[in-house]
A = this chain, B = another copy of it.
Amino acid sequence: MQALKDRILKEGKNLGGGILRVDSFINHQVDPALMNECGQEFARRFASLGATRVLTAEISGIAPAFSAALHLGVPVVYARKTKPVTMPDTVYLTTAPSHTKGRMTELIVSPEYLGHGERVLVIDDFLASGETILGLVRLTRAAGASVVGIGALIEKSFEGGRKALAHLGVQIEALVCIASMENDQILFGD
């Protein structure tokens, strides 16, 4: 998606170690018009899947997932990283390594909002190693629901996530693909 690519070129910062800083428009400060446009594009690409729910991981996935869900006309569920007191005692919980945090994080969903038979579209900000998305897939399956598609704003294809998700046999869409971040550059792929 050209608008997102342009914004990465303008404001994205290559911090080294494969970490792309996009917190001026996705993660900390958010450009709602751009995220809304990305949500429309996800809705267009996944329109035929019959998704009944969008699932993401808090925090960074929320803006694109919310926007996609708005345009698909379905609820969005945020997998929480800590269990609030308002959540029931028994939940679905899995752990996934966080690239930017350098440790394992928990992903927690209440069984009330991820039911048997749901058709789940997983949306996140990045598709990197695929570990967070695989965590969301495990939660979905634990609930007896199925993942019907996976979308990310930005794929870092050099981290192998698409390969790690291939066995799922579902449609995978990234709005922008980055092929290399070596030598302080950001090189886009297809």
Q: Give chain A's interface residues, CB within 8 Å of chain B.
A: 15, 19, 21, 23-25, 27-33, 35-36, 58-59, 62-63, 66-67, 69-70, 73, 75-78, 80, 84-87, 100-102, 109-110, 112-113
A15, A62, A109: which has the most chain B beta carbons within 10 Å?
A62
Which residues of chain B come closer than 8 Å to A32, judged between CB atoms? 66-67, 69-70, 75-76
From B59, B76, B101, B112, contact of A85 by CB (8 A): B101
Q: Are B23 and A86 in contact (CB under 8 A)?
A: yes
A158 to chain B, nearest CB (A): 19
A76 to B62, CA, bound (A): 13
26 intermolecular pairs with C-beta atoms under 8 Å apart: A23-B84, A23-B87, A23-B110, A23-B113, A24-B112, A24-B113, A27-B86, A28-B77, A28-B78, A28-B80, A28-B87, A28-B109, A28-B113, A29-B110, A30-B66, A30-B75, A30-B77, A30-B78, A32-B66, A32-B69, A32-B70, A32-B75, A58-B59, A62-B63, A84-B100, A85-B101
